[in-house]
Amino acid sequence: MLNYNEIQEKLQSALSPGRFNHTLGVLETALKLGHIYNIDEEKVKVSALLHDCAKDIPNTLKLRLCKEYHIPLDEFMSQDIELCHSFLGAEIAKREYGVKDEEILNAIKYHTTGRADMSVLEKIIYLADYIEPNRIPFRGLEEVRQYVENDLDKAMITALKNTIEYLTKNNRIIHPLTIEALEFIISKKED
């Protein structure tokens, strides 16, 4: 795997300045959360840095790379190609940055949709992406920021509900993984 500085340098040239700034905000937030929840700092750094490594790839190239890398596009990703950037990002992290750790790859892969039974690292990257300090304020953001340092699952439930509500209101596609993530966390909290 490339070292931290090599990853950052390569990534900076692959992303727009705005996306790179967002990535640094996610990194800062994820490191803070990783410290609170006692997660390996190296895993947090690499996951946070690479979470959007495929985001700025033009959609036609995203489609071609998904085909080339044998990343199956389900009907939801086929309808909204932006959804595939995290799945493609995990593959790019593996192929271009040398990441072999499955937990890091899953944190990258599921940072957009979530999924049932997410690891703490996956939740940290999902939430850091959601609440990073450069985010333009939106409804529910402060509520998630309030929960995140004391109750990761409560923060996840709030973020997932907000996302589903936003997507529904805007007639956007809701990936079933997002619904599964919410249902799983709610059922776990009820146990």
Domain ranges of the chain: 4-137
Q: Residue 4: which pLDDT band, with cuts at 50, 70 and 90? A: confident
Question: Above pLDDT 70, what percent of the chain?
Answer: 99
pTM, entire model: 0.96
Picking from 148, 53, 36, the residue whose alpha carbon sits closest to that of residue 104 is 53
d(CA 44, CA 143): 23
Fold of 4-137: Hypothetical protein af1432 (1.10.3210)
Mean pLDDT of the 14-37 span: 97
pLDDT digits (tens, 9 = 90+) for 30-58: 999 999 999 999 999 999 999 999 999 99
pLDDT, one tens digit per residue, over 120-144 is 999 999 999 999 999 999 999 999 9
Per the CB < 8 A criterion, the answer to whether 65 and 39 are in contact is no
Please return the burial class of 171, using the count of CB atoms within 10 Å of its CB with bins 0-12, 13-18 and 19+: exposed
How many Cβ atoms sit within 10 Å of the Cβ of residue 16?
10
What does the pLDDT average to over 84-104?
Answer: 97
